[in-house]
Structure 1
């Protein structure tokens, strides 16, 4: 059994996608990041960077004590190793999948997060920041679009944790949509992944939680470190 510490953000969706695809039993423990649950000592004990998602595997493959894992990319790699699924067996293909997983972790995720911050959450518009992150996200999506030319999935013909990691971060902000019309292969791939039943179940899970609440000063403090007036 996997204990999943989760909130419906792009990083949270990555893990529910894997768990649904693999059919692993799991229990959701909501971490309401707007309410500050990520700072509770009991959560920090196994997720010291005060970020979700995190997991505790109560039945690790070695039969030993429970294993906790934080950081979404590390969780995906751990679960792929546990199940033997969604990472290619071929060494070269496996490298490619991991390259694109780290590309998401180091590039698309952080840059898209900054794009969303300055276009959706910042208390005042800052033109330079908005342009800077919009341009960088579009550059990254162009890289992805070129990668997908002639490929069904990011690592080739095989659906992997790279696809699971990247998908939730494409056009992640409904209040600040990007024009993706210039990226036909990205659009094709994104629709194909979105049509997978396990992916649909993973995204539907998020609807059970209050991630779409209106921003309050208290939530802003928990999410962005902004002092409450």
Structure 2
């Protein structure tokens, strides 16, 4: 018998548009959504309120648990930037009224950033924890963030002309994912030096797939699945997306790895070895 979470995922995924699709895998709001003016991604297992001072007042995120906002919360938590959730979405400064949208008032004037990839790049440039990054690492991080939005998104989600998601391109071999598979067989994360906001961008899209398309296995790419599992296991991921989603995804990845190890995937090669 399917779990309540599985039924929720399946029932809500149908006909979802690209700007709504995160809703399809969110547990009930009472389980994961922070109270107005707070975000669970402000630290490990903690919340940051909009009534505090300093950086937490500087970054205001217009969004909901049912949008790509958790992706932004995850990234902000990983680089140590507290974010306050906007109390009133009717004040959203996004020119098209979409979410997520970030308002940064830290410099004295409000800077508006929209599109999840652009927001991640803004957070990367703002975070003190990334100040010591070399030009090479910085370029790699921002390049991967852009790649996630421009190239990986259309692979993961095939849309109708009016933007409704109806399928995934990961049901069959894909040369770009093959390249990712090779890279992740050589290193744990996308950029040399360890986990970065590049991984937040790329892993978020990859982890959407087993939530929307539960019958689709990525076992042909075991290194990619192992990478997805590593990212989903991070504390900040669970804080941003919710513990139910985190547990579901970790279990899904473990199942795909078992399938790959038993020869269920299209490739016999596992973790870079024959």
CA contact (8 A) 1:109 1:169 kept: yes
TM-score by length of 1: 0.67
CA contact (8 A) 1:11 1:72 kept: yes
1:33-44 aligned within 5 A: 42-43=91-92
Matched, 1:190 2:247: no
Q: Which whole-Å CA distance do the structure 2 matches of 1:137 and 1:4 have between them?
A: 37
Residue aligning to 1:105: 149
CA contact (8 A) 2:63 2:85 kept: yes
TM-fit CA distance, 1:172: 1.2
Matched, 1:12 2:69: yes
TM-score by length of 2: 0.57
Among candidates 121, 126, 144, match of residue 77 of structure 1 = 121
Q: Which runs of 5+ in 1 are unaligned?
A: 32-36, 123-129, 208-229
Q: Which whole-Å CA distance do the structure 2 matches of 1:111 and 1:30 have between them?
A: 34
Q: Which runs of 5+ in 2 are unaligned?
A: 1-56, 246-274
Q: Which whole-Å CA distance do the structure 1 matches of 2:243 and 2:160 have between them?
A: 22
Q: 1:145 to 1:204 in 2, by over 3 A?
A: same
Number of matched pairs: 185
Among candidates 86, 99, 104, match of residue 57 of structure 1 = 104
1:163-182 aligned within 5 A: 163-173=199-209, 174-177=211-214, 178-182=216-220
1:185-224 aligned within 5 A: 185-204=223-242
Q: Secondary structure at the match of 1:13?
A: helix
Q: Which whole-Å CA distance do the structure 1 matches of 2:192 and 2:145 have between them?
A: 14
Q: Deviations over 1:194-217 (max 9, x none)?
A: 12111111111898xxxxxxxxxx
